Amino acid sequence: MEKWVGRVALVTGASVGTGAAITRALVKHGMKVVGCARNVQQIESIRDELKGEKGQLIPIKCDLTKEEEILAMFKKIQKDLGGVDVCINNAGLSHCAPLLSGSTADWKNMLDVNVLGLCICTREAFQQMQKNKVDDGHIILMNSLSGHRVVPNAAGHFYSVTKCAVSAILEGIRNELHMLNSHIRVSSVSPGIVATEFHQRMYKSPEVGKRICSRMKCLEGEDLANAVIYALSAPAHVQVHDILVRSIEQKT
């Protein structure tokens, strides 16, 4: 990680869970981390917690369903920090919205965050890297095992739709980078069940979320932060394409 010391990383969805864990890890490795979320107060608390660490955390409020806010965020990063070197598209969400009975509003919200927000951030990060002649940048997509298989739980089927899209986006980005003779790398991390607030928010029930996570020893956010560090630490000629990671106790 020595090559990344002092360089700029953007982490979306940095306020809680996996995003917060990734943010902490990158700051401790000496990066300047722009952490964005709608709830910027939580990121400010993490910033205060990390004072004295090798790197720096810069909180930015951004709603990834609004393109104008994403564009303004990248403009600010360019102006204040000279642009991004690493873009970690961590933000994602799920609603209980089956394919045969789900709410269109819930489907649109998942697409806006999990697919369109991710694509806009990726596009802007690449354009910024290209403008700044950063040819060793890294784009990381937080995918899911749901981007590789569909579980027999209707509540999560549309979420799988969005994550299968992320798998296609990963392949497409790599193909486009190759056609441009770029040395910018793209990777994804595809976790199973993680002990975060994800399921509590999905089911709008702390009890249901906690019950799902109590069935096994789940992954922790730090496990995924370690996967991100692994991808970033690979030699410059190595692209870690996708890391599938799940609890040893998770069946599928």
Q: DSSP assignment of 197-219, as one string? A: SHHHHHTT-HHHHHHHHHTS--B
State both tokens at 92.
């994602």
Looking up tokens 């990063």, which residue turns up? 77
Nearest to 116 by CA among 165, 80, 55, 155: 165
Other C-beta atoms closer than 10 Å to the C-beta of 126 total 22
What amino acid positions are annotated as catalytic residues?
159
| Helix, strand, coil share (%) of the chain residues, nearest 5 | 50, 15, 35
Work out the burial of residue 178: count CB atoms within 10 Å of its CB; fewer than 13 is exposed, 13-18 middle, 19 or more buried: exposed
Distances from the Cα of 228 to the Cα of 23, 52, 61, 246, 252, angstroms: 10, 23, 23, 14, 22
